[in-house]
């Protein structure tokens, strides 16, 4: 077994055992959210690392799944109020968001880099206003009181395991694709799209398939999220949360699949725990009273994220690599010898 | 070799971080909220919140779930430190704290801010400890994250808050799943939170957005001579609810609403929306529910498109305040304004004076929202609706706790029964609850008038609208849909307060 698989297996086993000794809050709130955010972030990391597509529409697909479930399950309040059972609603929601991902993917597939980013951002903004203004499906007030299936209702640990299982499924699927002919072709499209096209590969179609595949898992995370959160409104899919997803992927390491969950853990952990560091508020006493106190904890989080990104463009996993290099300089020197080519360019 | 070591390091880091989080969350709960808060907890009970949790020997979240054995109140305040109302964070905590200072013998930790917590709160032998202050941002998602932290990590068994409408609906739904916790609304005004969600452990001692606008339509019809009106409101829950209150009131009096325009929240250029409104010679008046920076921007667009303002043709909800005159001039004089929890400063009664004086005695200064965060007299913040809403909610808690002799047994059943049936004699009017635990409140109608002495526009109360209930005289019920853009039926009907409003002359209610 390779080191990577071993490490992931170790963490996976730990996560399976976590409810045995973790507090209800840590497991049911913190880690469930980490797994859901990691799941949707993994769809972005997959697109970025395998297809060279940094998308801002994954969060929209995530949100559409939530709105779809909300409209189908709710019996009162806003939206369609179809009153369907949760499980069939989940299936339909996944079909809807996978189809949406195919549409977005096919419309965006012919663009690259900043144009791809802007186009997917446009879809995200359209989604925000669509659900805000079309009150048939939501309105800005959003949908509340959405109950999960009875199996998960009032059983946060079960939902945690559900999120863990979905995360494992996504991880294994994305890893399997990496080594499949489709994955190799996708990597070719990422590195040399013109050459791949001249070799006869249908580049837009490959990108569309990748986007659709990623969209399915983003939708899966969206379904889990509304079961966990019980509500969704247009601000849930606004620009802020959309960028949060990108931040999660970047701080975790956007080129490493595992970085999606690592980034989510850092993001959620920082949001919950960083504000509670004793004495943090008084640090600001040098400048202004309470300048870094609880009500400004987002500033502290921002500084932390900035630190990670400045210290390691490859995210938190890159930070760990650097720490290891510092501890073992010989290995580090060997790595430099391998990765720096004679012309001075990094490979 | 290198990669293997890297992966191992990654795995080890992940496992250690998870372990630290899983096992350390108890400790995190111990440091809780603000550092000063834990000091407050120690001061008041002789032991910290975490010590209590640790001594119980079980997971804190489970302890919170077993609130039947509560011997103290672990209070969480759900405020809003970011977003459009983030400037009122100090106000919300100050309102809660002042009620505990006045009714529970608490002392504020700081003389210049309420955010540092309090100590020494005790009612009927029950200590009230502040375990955390939630930091919302006006979104329901964030509100849920914060309330989870307050309840499930910091073990709050009573929560005061939240501030804003959609947050209130989310937390009322959360309350359904957490029957062991008692929730008392801060100042959130969405109708659904009580009328539709109906959580048995969620209490609201303030009005909703519709209730606050009761009487405006009636006054515009009777005094302003309006027979037709156009509504322009922010396209979200609070905008819809506020305009629904006006529509129900105005139509009940005999008026007709001929046009509805709903700009999206956050619009900066209102010209296209204003163009959709009828011209001033086609309608008798306009009702505005455009908040934040949108108020002035929308009115400026109106001036550009429709000509100068004529105050007698305009009315609005709480966003329609004297501040708009600073940018648009004094032509706005004559406009009617809906109510918001407390009363305008021109009304002074012994109860109001005592309340505001107690605020000034509790702190040297506060940086509330009305003063833009700058240090100002505490009574400025406490006299405004945000702080006052939290004050009344906490006052109800204190009085109910006292009435039941500190009985917190059986999931606070005695306390909740008392909250449901009591009448709170609050400084700006008495409040009791209906069957959905929603406040039946006094509200007011004010008018923007030109103060001859200063040459500035000020807000002057013209009428108090007594005991407005959420059903709006039968307009709304649990079976009616939540207010949306134009789903309030415009029909003439009898409303309890029509003909029974209390005129206010020179700041004196003519009861």
The pLDDT tens digits of the residues spanning A11-35 come to 999 999 999 999 999 999 999 999 9
A346 lies in a domain? no
The percentage of chain A sitting over the pLDDT mark of 70, rounded to a whole number, equals 86
Pairing of strands B456-468, B336-337: unpaired
Neighbouring residues of A240: CB distance < 8 A, sequence distance ≥ 6: none
Is A335 near chain B, with CB under 8 Å?
yes
**CA geometry: angle at A153 spanning A147 and A154, to 5°?**
125
Q: How far apart are CA A49 and CA A268, in angstroms?
A: 23
Domain that holds residue A59: 22-238
Write out the two tokens for B357: 């004086």
Q: Which of A214-223, B36-45, B81-90, B200-209 has the lowest mean pLDDT?
A: B36-45
Q: Which of A32-46, A260-274, A317-331, B245-259 has the lowest mean pLDDT?
A: A317-331
Give the other-Cβ count within 10 Å of B1's Cβ. Answer: 10
pLDDT at B208 over 60: yes
Write out the two tokens for B203: 């209490």
Q: How far apart are CA B309 and CA A125, in angstroms?
A: 35
The enclosing H or E element of B330 equals: none
Phi, psi torsion values for B293, nearest 5 degrees:
-70, -15
Tell which of A140, A159, A226, A262 to mutate to test the B interface (max B CBs under 10 Å): A140
A254 lies in a domain? no
Residues 185-224 of A with CB under 8 A from B: none
pLDDT digits (tens, 9 = 90+) for B108-161: 999 999 998 999 999 999 999 999 999 898 889 999 999 999 999 999 999 999
pLDDT band of residue B481 (cuts 50, 70, 90) is confident
Is A14 near chain B, with CB under 8 Å?
yes
Test A28 with B1 for CB contact under 8 angstroms. no
**pLDDT at residue A310 in the model:** 84
A341 lies in a domain? no
Question: Which residue's entry shows tokens 């001061």?
Answer: B43
Measured between beta carbons, the chain A residues lying within 8 angstroms of B31 are 276-278
b or e along B338-363 (b: 16 or more beta carbons within 10 Å of the residue's beta carbon)?
bbbbbbbbebeeeebeebbebbeebb
The enclosing H or E element of B186 equals: none
**Which chain A residue's Cα is nearest to B169?**
A144
pLDDT digits (tens, 9 = 90+) for B466-478: 999 999 988 899 9
Test A6 with B11 for CB contact under 8 angstroms. yes
**pLDDT at residue B243 in the model:** 93
Q: How large is the ipTM? A: 0.85
Test B144 with A135 for CB contact under 8 angstroms. no
Give me chain A's average pLDDT, please: 87
Of B182, B195, B199, B198, the closest CA to residue B404 belongs to B182
For B371-412, the DSSP string reads TTTS-B-HHHHHTSHHHHHHHHHHHHHHHHHHHTTT--HHHH
pLDDT digits (tens, 9 = 90+) for B398-414: 999 999 999 999 999 99
Is B49 near chain A, with CB under 8 Å?
no
pLDDT digits (tens, 9 = 90+) for B227-256: 999 999 988 878 888 999 999 999 999 999
Test A10 with B15 for CB contact under 8 angstroms. yes
Pairing of strands B336-337, B423-426: unpaired
For B281-292, the DSSP string reads TT-SEEEEE--T
**Which chain A residue's Cα is nearest to B487?**
A135
pLDDT band of residue B14 (cuts 50, 70, 90) is low
Distance from the B315 Cα atom to the nearest Cα atom in chain A, whole angstroms:
24
Q: Which of A209-213, A246-250, B277-281, B485-489 has the lowest mean pLDDT?
A: B485-489
Give how many domains chain A has, as a whole number.
Answer: 1
- Using the 8-state DSSP alphabet, how is residue B481 labeled? P
**pLDDT at residue A278 in the model:** 57
**Chain A with chain B: Cβ pairs closer than 8 A:** 212
Question: Which residue's entry shows tokens 């630190």?
Answer: A307
Neighbouring residues of B175: CB distance < 8 A, sequence distance ≥ 6: B181, B183, B197, B199, B201, B202
Alpha helices in B254-384 (DSSP H): 271-275, 294-306, 323-328, 350-362, 378-382
**pLDDT at residue A56 in the model:** 96
CA-to-CA dists, residue B490 to B243, B245, B493, angstroms: 12, 11, 9
Considering only residues A151 and A113, tell me which one the structure prediction assigns the higher pLDDT: A151
Q: Mean pLDDT over residues A124-141, rounded?
A: 91
Distance from the A92 Cα atom to the nearest Cα atom in chain B, whole angstroms:
24
Q: How far apart are CA B448 and CA B456, in angstroms?
A: 10
Q: What are chain B's domains?
A: 31-208+349-437 (3.40.50.2300), 216-337+441-509 (3.40.50.2300)
A263 lies in a domain? no
Is A273 near chain B, with CB under 8 Å?
yes
pLDDT at A196 over 90: yes
**CA geometry: angle at B46 spanning B41 and B50, to 5°?**
55
Model's pTM, two decimal places?
Answer: 0.86
Test A236 with B140 for CB contact under 8 angstroms. yes
Task: Quote the distance between the C-alpha of residue B9 and its chain's center.
Answer: 49
For B68-109, the DSSP string reads GG--SEEEEEEEE-SSTTGGGHHHHHHHHHHHHHHHH--EES
A27 lies in a domain? yes
Measured between beta carbons, the chain A residues lying within 8 angstroms of B2 are 324, 328, 331-332, 334-335
Test A144 with B26 for CB contact under 8 angstroms. no
A245 lies in a domain? no
Is there a contact between A186 and A205 (Cβ–Cβ < 8 Å)?
Answer: no
Distance from the A117 Cα atom to the nearest Cα atom in chain B, whole angstroms:
24
Sheet containing strand B73-80, edge to edge, reads: B122-123, B126-136, B73-80, B158-160, B182-184, B202-203
For A124-165, the DSSP string reads HHHHHHHHHH-TTT--TT-B------TTTTT-HHHHHHHHHH
Write out the two tokens for B342: 């407390």
Test A294 with B4 for CB contact under 8 angstroms. no
Neighbouring residues of A126: CB distance < 8 A, sequence distance ≥ 6: none
| Rg of chain A, C-alpha, whole Å | 21
pLDDT at B336 over 90: yes
Q: How far apart are CA B485 and CA B500, in angstroms?
A: 29
Measured between beta carbons, the chain A residues lying within 8 angstroms of B235 are 132-133, 139-140
Q: Mean pLDDT over residues A55-77, rounded?
A: 95
Which one of A28, A78, A335 has the shortest CB-CB distance to B2?
A335
**Which chain A residue's Cα is nearest to B60?**
A23
The enclosing H or E element of B346 equals: none
Which one of B4, B25, B31 has the shortest CB-CB distance to A3?
B4
Test A236 with B176 for CB contact under 8 angstroms. no
Q: Which of A75-89, B31-45, B285-299, B416-430 has the lowest mean pLDDT?
A: B31-45
Pairing of strands B336-337, B314-316: parallel
Measured between beta carbons, the chain A residues lying within 8 angstroms of B198 are none
Measured between beta carbons, the chain A residues lying within 8 angstroms of B62 are 24
Q: How far apart are CA B156 and CA B77, in angstroms?
A: 9
pLDDT band of residue B326 (cuts 50, 70, 90) is confident
**pLDDT at residue B16 in the model:** 57
Is B511 near chain A, with CB under 8 Å?
no
Q: How far apart are CA B296 and CA B352, in angstroms?
A: 31
pLDDT at B291 over 50: yes
User: What crossing angle do the helices spanning B165-176 and B237-253 adopt, rounded to 10°?
Assistant: 100
A287 lies in a domain? no
Q: How far apart are CA A162 and CA B119, in angstroms?
A: 43
Task: Give me the sign of the Cα torsion angle B61, B66, B71, B76.
Answer: positive
Helix (H, G, I), strand (E, B) or coil at A234: helix
Q: Which residues on adjacent β-strands are paired with residue B406?
A: none
Helix (H, G, I), strand (E, B) or coil at A8: helix
Measured between beta carbons, the chain B residues lying within 8 angstroms of A14 are 14-15, 18
């Amino acid at each position: 077994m390779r080191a990577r698989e071993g490490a992931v297996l170790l963490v996976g086993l730990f996560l399976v055992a976590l409810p045995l000794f973790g507090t209800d809050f840590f497991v049911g709130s913190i880690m469930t959210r980490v797994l859901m955010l990691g799941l949707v972030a993994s769809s972005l990391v997959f697109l970025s690392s395998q297809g060279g597509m940094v998308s801002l529409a994954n969060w929209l697909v995530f949100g559409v799944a939530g709105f779809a479930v909300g409209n189908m399950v709710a019996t009162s309040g806003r939206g369609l109020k179809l009153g369907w059972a949760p499980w069939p609603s989940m299936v339909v929601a996944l079909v809807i968001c996978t189809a949406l991902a195919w549409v977005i993917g096919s419309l965006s597939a012919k663009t690259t880099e900043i144009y791809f980013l802007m186009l997917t951002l446009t879809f995200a903004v359209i989604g925000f206003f669509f659900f805000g203004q079309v009150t048939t499906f939501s309105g800005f007030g959003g949908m509340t009181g959405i109950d999960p299936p009875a199996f998960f209702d009032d059983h946060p640990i079960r939902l945690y395991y559900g999120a863990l299982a979905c995360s494992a499924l996504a991880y294994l699927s994305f890893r399997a694709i990496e080594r499949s002919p489709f994955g190799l072709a996708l990597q070719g499209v990422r590195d040399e799209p013109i050459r791949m096209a001249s070799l006869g590969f249908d580049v837009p179609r490959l990108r569309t398939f990748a986007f659709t595949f990623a969209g399915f898992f983003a939708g899966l995370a969206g379904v889990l999220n509304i079961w966990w959160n019980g509500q969704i409104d247009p601000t849930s899919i606004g620009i802020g949360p959309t960028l949060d997803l990108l931040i999660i992927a970047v701080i975790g390491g956007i080129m490493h699949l595992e970085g999606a969950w690592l980034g989510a853990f850092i993001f959620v952990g920082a949001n919950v725990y960083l504000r509670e560091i004793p004495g943090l508020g008084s640090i600001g006493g040098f400048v202004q009273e309470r300048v870094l106190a609880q009500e400004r904890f987002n500033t502290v989080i921002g500084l932390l994220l900035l630190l990670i990104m400045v210290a390691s463009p490859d995210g938190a996993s890159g930070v760990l690599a650097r720490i290891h290099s510092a501890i073992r300089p010989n290995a580090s020197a060997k790595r430099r010898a391998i990765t720096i080519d004679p012309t001075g360019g990094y490979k | 070799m290198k990669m293997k070591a890297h992966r191992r390091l990654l795995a080890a880091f992940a496992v250690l971080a998870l372990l630290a989080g899983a096992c350390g969350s108890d400790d995190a709960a111990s440091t809780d909220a603000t550092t000063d808060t834990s000091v407050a907890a120690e001061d008041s009970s002789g032991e910290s919140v975490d010590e209590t949790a640790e001594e119980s020997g079980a997971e804190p979240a489970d302890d919170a779930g077993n609130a039947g054995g509560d011997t103290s109140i672990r209070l969480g305040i759900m405020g809003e430190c970011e977003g459009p109302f983030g400037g009122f964070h100090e106000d919300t905590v100050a309102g809660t704290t002042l009620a505990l200072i006045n009714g529970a013998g608490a002392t504020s930790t700081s003389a210049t801010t309420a955010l540092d917590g309090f100590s020494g709160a005790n009612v009927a032998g029950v200590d009230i400890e502040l375990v955390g202050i939630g930091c919302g941002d006006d979104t329901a998602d964030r509100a849920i994250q914060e309330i989870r932290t307050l309840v499930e990590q910091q073990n709050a068994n009573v929560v005061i808050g939240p501030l804003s409408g959609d947050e209130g609906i989310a937390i009322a739904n959360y309350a359904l799943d957490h029957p062991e916790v008692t929730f008392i609304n801060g100042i959130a005004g969405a109708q659904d939170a009580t009328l539709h969600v109906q959580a048995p452990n969620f209490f609201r001692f303030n009005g909703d957005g519709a209730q606050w606008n009761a009487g405006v339509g009636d006054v515009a019809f009777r005094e302003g001579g309006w027979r037709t009106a156009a509504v322009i409101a922010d396209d979200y829950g609070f905008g819809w609810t506020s305009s629904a209150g006006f529509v129900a009131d105005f139509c009940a009096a005999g008026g007709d609403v001929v046009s509805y325009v709903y700009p999206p929240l956050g619009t900066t250029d209102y010209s296209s929306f204003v163009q959709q409104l009828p011209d001033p010679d086609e309608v008798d008046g306009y009702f505005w529910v455009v908040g934040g920076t949108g108020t002035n921007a929308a009115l400026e667009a109106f001036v550009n498109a429709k000509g100068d303002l004529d105050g007698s043709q305009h009315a609005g909800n709480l966003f329609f305040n004297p501040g708009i005159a600073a940018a648009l001039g004094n032509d706005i004089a004559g406009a009617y304004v809906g109510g918001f929890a407390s009363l305008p400063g021109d009304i002074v009664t012994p109860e109001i004076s005592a309340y505001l004086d107690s605020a000034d005695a509790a702190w040297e200064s506060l940086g509330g929202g009305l003063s833009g965060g700058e240090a100002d007299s505490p009574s400025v913040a406490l006299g405004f609706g945000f702080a006052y809403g939290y004050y009344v909610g906490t006052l109800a808690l204190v009085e109910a706790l006292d009435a039941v002799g500190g009985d917190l047994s059986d999931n606070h059943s005695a306390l909740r029964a008392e909250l449901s049936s009591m009448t709170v004699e609050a400084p700006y009017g008495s409040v009791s609850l209906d069957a959905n635990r929603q406040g039946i409140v006094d509200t007011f109608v004010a008018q923007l008038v030109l103060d001859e002495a200063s040459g500035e526009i000020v807000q002057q109360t013209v009428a108090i609208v007594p005991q407005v209930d959420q059903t709006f005289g039968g307009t709304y019920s649990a079976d009616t849909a939540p207010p949306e853009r134009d789903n309030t039926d415009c029909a003439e009907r009898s409303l309890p307060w029509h003909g029974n409003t209390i005129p206010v002359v020179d700041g004196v209610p003519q009861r």
